[in-house]
C-alpha cells in the first residue's frame, strides 16, 4: 500500500488510475483505526476499483475543551491495518497541507438545519469543521463514491445533504455500525474506557433497543425519552441526549408517529463521550 502526504502526489496518482478507467472510492478517517474502520474499507472495495483512505485529525471539528491534542495518533499501526485489508492508498496530509492559510482563516462549508440539533447544539462549530474538511477531501480525491459509518448518523446526514446541495457527483455509501460483543458501538474513543467502564457503556445499546421496543409498543415518545435518560444514569452514564427523531432530518416527531424514526444517544462515561443510534 502506498502512502502519500501532498495534494500534488495524490492528484497524480488519482489521474493515473483514472486513465486506467478505475472507479475511485474514498474512506475519510481520523486514524487510530479499528475493525469498524476496516469494515468501511471492505465496503468501499465493493463499490470501487481503487480505495483511498485518508488519515487526518482535523482541528476544525474539535471544540476548545475537546481532545484534539490528545486524540490518539497511531500512523504505523493504521498503515499496517490498511495494508492488511488491501487498501490501495493512504493519504496522510499535514494540517498545513489541508489548511494552507491556517485553520482559522480557512474557507468554511456549513450545512444549515440538519447540523443544528443534537451534536450541533452540544458541539458548536463541529459540523462546519466536518463539512469543510470532507469538501476539501472530495475536491482532492474526486471520488466516485465515499463511505461513511451510520454510527455517526448526524454526520452522515450532513454529508448527504452537502453532496446533494452542491451537486457533487459522488455516491455516499452508508455503512452499518460495527459492534463489540456486548453491543457497544466500535469507536476510537472506547480506548479511553477502563474494562469496568466498557461494560457499563454497553447500557447505551441496551437503552437504544429499549427505546425502539417501547416505541413499537405504542408508548408516548416523551415518556420513552425520559425513561432512556434514567436508564443511562442508573448505569453510571451522563447523557447529553437520548431522543427519538425523524430519521430523514432529525426534527422532533409528532406524538402519534411510529415510523421513520431513529433513536439517538450521546452520553459521557469517564474520559469518553460516546454516541450511538438505532433505526426504529
Q: At what angle do helices 126-141 and 153-165 cross, to 10 degrees?
A: 50
| Residues facing residue 64 across a β-bridge | none
The active-site residue out of 34, 37, 47, 126 is 37
Angstrom CA distances, 57 to 32, 67, 114, stand at 10, 11, 23
Give yes or no: 37 in active site. yes
| Residue numbers annotated as active site | 37
Amino acid at each position: 500500500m502506498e502512502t502519500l502526504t501532498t495534494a500534488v502526489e495524490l492528484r497524480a496518482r488519482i489521474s493515473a488510475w483514472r486513465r486506467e478507467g478505475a472507479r475511485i472510492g474514498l474512506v475519510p478517517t481520523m486514524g487510530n483505526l479499528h475493525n469498524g474502520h476496516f469494515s468501511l474499507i471492505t465496503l468501499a472495495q465493493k463499490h470501487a476499483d481503487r480505495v483511498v483512505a485518508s488519515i487526518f485529525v482535523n482541528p476544525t471539528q474539535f471544540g476548545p475543551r475537546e481532545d484534539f491534542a490528545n486524540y490518539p495518533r497511531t500512523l504505523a499501526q493504521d498503515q499496517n491495518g490498511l495494508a492488511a485489508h488491501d487498501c490501495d492508498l493512504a493519504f496522510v496530509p499535514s494540517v498545513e497541507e489541508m489548511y494552507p492559510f491556517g485553520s482559522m482563516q480557512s474557507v468554511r462549508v456549513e450545512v444549515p438545519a440538519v447540523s443544528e440539533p443534537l451534536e450541533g447544539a452540544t458541539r458548536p462549530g463541529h459540523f462546519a469543521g466536518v463539512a469543510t474538511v470532507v469538501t476539501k477531501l472530495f475536491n482532492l480525491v474526486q471520488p466516485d463514491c465515499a463511505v461513511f459509518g451510520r454510527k455517526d448518523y448526524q454526520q452522515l446526514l450532513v454529508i448527504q445533504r452537502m453532496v446533494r446541495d452542491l451537486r457533487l457527483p459522488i455516491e455516499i455509501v452508508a455503512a452499518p455500525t460495527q459492534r463489540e460483543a456486548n453491543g457497544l458501538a466500535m469507536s476510537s474513543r472506547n480506548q479511553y474506557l477502563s474494562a469496568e467502564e466498557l461494560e457499563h457503556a454497553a447500557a447505551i445499546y441496551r437503552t437504544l433497543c429499549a427505546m425502539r421496543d417501547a416505541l413499537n409498543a405504542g408508548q408516548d415518545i416523551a415518556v420513552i425519552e425520559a425513561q432512556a435518560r434514567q436508564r443511562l444514569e442508573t448505569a453510571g452514564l451522563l447523557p447529553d441526549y437520548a431522543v427519538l427523531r425523524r430519521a430523514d432530518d432529525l426534527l422532533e416527531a409528532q406524538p402519534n408517529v411510529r415510523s421513520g424514526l431513529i433513536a439517538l444517544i450521546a452520553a459521557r462515561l469517564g474520559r469518553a463521550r460516546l454516541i450511538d443510534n438505532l433505526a426504529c
